[in-house]
Chain A
Amino acid sequence: MSTSRKPRRRFRRSLGERIAERALALVAASAIGAITLILVFVVREALPLFWDGHEGLALAAPHRYPNYDHPVYVWQPVGYPPKYGVVPLFVGTLKITGLAMAISTPLSLLAAIYVAELMRPRRRAWIKPIIELVAGVPSVVLGFIALTYIAGATQDLLGCTYRLNALVAAIALSLAVLPVIFTVAEDALHGVPLALREASLALGARRYQTVTRVVLPAALPGILAALVLGFGRAIGETMIVLMASGNAAVLDPSPTSSARTLTATIAAELGESPRGSEHWRVLFLLGMILLLITWALDAVGRIVVRRLARRLDPSTDEGA
């Protein structure tokens, strides 16, 4: 750490200052404590599934149930017997999240490049807050828009069988994800030192050459961080997908078929499942996996960003 090498200036601090410092440390610690407690709670509710004698759950494997003529992956938590095949839920989550990222990534990055590099600064000053305002639209509103307008429009346009489908949910979801990626990526682009651009232009590079070969590579760590953040928002979003995706737990990878996500399943079913029941524990297991996915992604994102930052600018420290 670069800061530890600097000699620390010692000056007498007032009592108030010390109290404030302690209080802030306490607040920071409580946040960490809360996250730890959440993890402990979720794990404690989920894991008894594996040793409390719940045999034959067939969570991730195809299973041949009575009344079915071949082994299937099926999510039917209310049934005889209940069927907790989680594979369709993962397919649904990946389908919607992937589609939403595929829609929002190019749009938000192009918008960020335009706003950061080409737009007049005075216009940027009011355009950026407006796009950021979209991030503040409640997801239930976006879900409603998807339900009433986007669903009809996509059905008329593409003639899909299902009015509510993964694509409709993904379009609405990308409305929520877009401003997140945009604003972080735009900050990253804007933060690239002006000297780099000036040097590039002075060497005779055109403006688009400067953007694609100098500014974009320099801002890459920040852009990746933006994408990771956007992905986290997309995979965790509940209300939009609950309202717009149709929630059918199918294994079909087609974007115009319905999809049921992990988050929507937890939201729709946790209320009815009695505490401590098998269904309750399976839902907590899904929550735990969701938590692990976002953390793993966050960790990978951090490592990649750090590597990139070091490669682009060897003078930066590891912790930067």
Chain B
Amino acid sequence: MNGWHLLPAALLVLACSGRYGGAPGAGARITVRGSDTLVVLMQRWAEASTTSQPDVVVEVSGGGTGTGIAALMNGTTDLAMASRPIAREERARIEGSGAKLVEIPVALDAVAIYIHESNPLSALTLDALRGVFAGKIRRWSELGGADRPIVLYSRESSSGTYAFFKEHVLQKCDFAPEAQSLPGTAAVVQAVARDPAAIGYGGIARARGVKVLPLRLADGSVVAPDHEAATTGRYPLTRPLFVYLRAPANPEAEGFARFLVGPEAQALAEEAGFFAWRSPP
């Protein structure tokens, strides 16, 4: 008994010393939340940034663009990663509280269409893609493939990729109710890799073990989501990835944001399968 009731007190002292002790500025933490598309790259960036800001710990977590921006609104994160531009209402909510919102494009991404590796389909037009995901085209035979139903893999509505795909491919249509919503691009890739009847979508950087389906443009040419097509904007599903923060931000968060647009971070983006940020031509 006698030693144990000292334990809470000891823990309290420890907790306080962790928070307030040490040199000022040491062990500063910044949190980054949001887009699952960006999570892996952001973790690499966070590791790389320790060379320029050795005292700053960057905590990265995913959850989807909507989650990240909601966290930025509630003030529970310093930076939000986004795979879509912030919506007008979201911007109004943040700026309504007196803060300024800073938008930093950090990389280019191409949303790729994934199909199973055994699928013989060679290209798809955007109209056909809309038909597939809106549930109007239901069998592969309608696209010249095997006679089996098309199984759609989509994302949760909190995903920026979901919002991007909906805006640029489905436009005014809704996703078919049969579209399965999975909790992340990795889950979509895994599901498509195992299912010969599957079609899914997600960032090009995550495409492993699946076939990336090129798109057929209106002029009849076929374009794959590669470096050249993405940076020239010929691939229609190219999108900028953003980081948002409130200004004035704390100096550590600002320093990290400045690091993200630097040459070192951009080289890492290319290495991770994204494309370095370049403003659209």
Residues of B in contact with A, size category: 20 to 34
Chain A 212-231 interface mask (CB, 8 Å, partner B; 1/0) = 00000000000000000000
Query: Residue-by-residue, is A249-269 near B (CB-CB < 8 Å gives 1, otherwise 0)?
Result: 111000001101000000011
- Indicate if the CB atoms of A163 and B179 lie closer than 8 Å: no
Within the complex, the shortest CB–CB distance from B139 to chain A, in Å, comes to 11
The interface-forming segment of B42-50, B166-174, B211-219, B228-236 is B166-174
Tell me whether B182 is interfacial, beta carbon within 8 Å. Answer: yes
Interface presence of A112 (CB below 8 A) = no
Give the shortest distance, in Å, between A238 (CB) and chain B (any CB): 12
Q: Output the least CB separation between B170 and chain A (Å).
A: 9
A192: chain B residues at CB < 8 Å are none
Number of interface residues of A (CB under 8 A): 34
A67→B172 contact, CB < 8 A: yes
Determine if B174 and A248 form an interchain contact, defined as CB atoms under 8 angstroms apart. no
Determine if B151 is an interface residue (Cβ-Cβ < 8 Å): yes
B178 interfacial by beta-carbon distance below 8 Å: yes
Q: When the two chains form their complex, are residues B175 and A163 in contact, meaning their CB atoms are under 8 A apart? A: no
Assembled-state Cα–Cα distance A66/B90 (Å)? 25
> Are A250 and B178 within 8 A (Cβ)?
yes
Encoded as 1 (CB less than 8 Å from any B CB) or 0, chain A from 166 to 201 comes to 000000000000000000000000000000000000
Verify if A28 is at the interface (C-beta below 8 Å from B): no
CB <8 Å contact, A77 and B157: yes
CB neighbours (8 Å) of B175 from chain A are 76
CB distance B90 to A274 under 8 Å? yes
Whole-angstrom distance between the Cβ of B94 and the nearest chain A Cβ: 11
A272 touches B177 (CB 8 A): no
Name the residue in B158, B177, B183 with the highest tally of chain A Cβ atoms < 10 Å from its Cβ.
Answer: B177
B67, B174, B180: the one within 8 Å of A247 (CB): B180
B91 to chain A, nearest CB (A): 12
Q: Does chain A have a CB within 8 A of B191? A: yes
Q: A78-B162, A272-B70 are in contact. Are A247 and B181 (CB under 8 A)?
A: yes
- Name the CB-closest residue of B to A245: B180
Residues of chain A from 251 to 294 with CB closer than 8 A to chain B in the complex:
251, 257-258, 260, 268-269, 271-275
> B73 on the interface (CB 8 Å rule)?
yes
Return the chain B residue nearest A85 by Cβ: B177
Q: Which residues of B contact A161 (CB under 8 A)?
A: 149, 151, 197
Select which of A76, A162, A269, A274 is within 8 A of B151 by beta carbon: A162
Return the contact of A78 from the options B63, B89, B163 (Cβ within 8 A). Answer: B163
Do residues B70 and A274 form an inter-chain contact, with CB atoms below 8 A? yes
Q: Does A232 contact B (CB under 8 A)?
A: no
* Interfacial chain B residues near A242, Cβ < 8 Å: 183
Asked if A138 is an interface residue, CB under 8 A from chain B, the answer is no
Bound-state CA distance A247–B153 (Å) is: 10
CB-CB under 8 A from A80, the residues of chain B are 172
- Chain B residues whose CB sits within 8 angstroms of the CB of A246 once the complex forms: 180-182
Contact status A271-B180, CB under 8 Å: no
Q: Does A74 sit within 8 A of B, measured CB to CB?
A: yes
Asked, given contacts A76-B174, A161-B197, whether A272 binds B180 with beta carbons under 8 Å apart, the answer is no
- Does any Cβ of B come within 8 Å of A243's Cβ? yes
Q: Tell yes or no: A95 within 8 A of B by CB.
A: no
Contact with A along B160-202 (1 / 0, CB 8 A): 0011001000001111011111110000000100110100000
Max chain A Cβ within 10 angstroms of own Cβ: one of B90, B162, B181: B181
**A243 neighbours in B (Cβ, 8 Å):** 183
A164 at the interface (CB under 8 A from B): yes
Residues of chain A lying within 8 A (CB to CB) of residue B183: 242-243, 268
A260 to B157, CA, bound (A): 13
Q: Which of A66-92 contact B (CB under 8 A)?
A: 66-67, 74-80, 83, 88
Q: How far is the CA of A77 from the CA of B93 in the complex (A)?
A: 20
Any chain B CB within 8 A of the CB of A152? yes
B237: min CB distance to chain A, Å: 18
Q: Is the CB of A248 within 8 A of B70?
A: no
A79-B174, A248-B177, A248-B179 given; A271·B64 CB < 8 A: yes
B156 is an interface residue with CB less than 8 A from chain A: yes
Whether A67 touches B174, Cβ cut-off 8 Å, given contacts A269-B157, A272-B70, is yes
Contact A271 B70 (CB under 8 A): yes
* CA–CA, A152 and B191, complex, Å: 11
Smallest CB separation, A23 vs chain B (Å): 16
Chain A residues whose C-beta falls within 8 Å of the C-beta of B64 in the assembled complex = 271-272
List chain A residues, Cβ under 8 A from B182.
246-247
Chain B, residue nearest A165 (CB) = B180
Q: List 18 A-B contacts (CB under 8 A).
A: A67-B172, A67-B173, A76-B174, A78-B163, A78-B166, A163-B191, A163-B194, A246-B181, A247-B156, A247-B181, A250-B177, A250-B178, A257-B178, A268-B183, A272-B70, A273-B66, A274-B89, A274-B93
Binding site for B on A (CB under 8 A): 66-67, 74-80, 83, 88, 152, 161-164, 242-243, 246-251, 257-258, 260, 268-269, 271-275
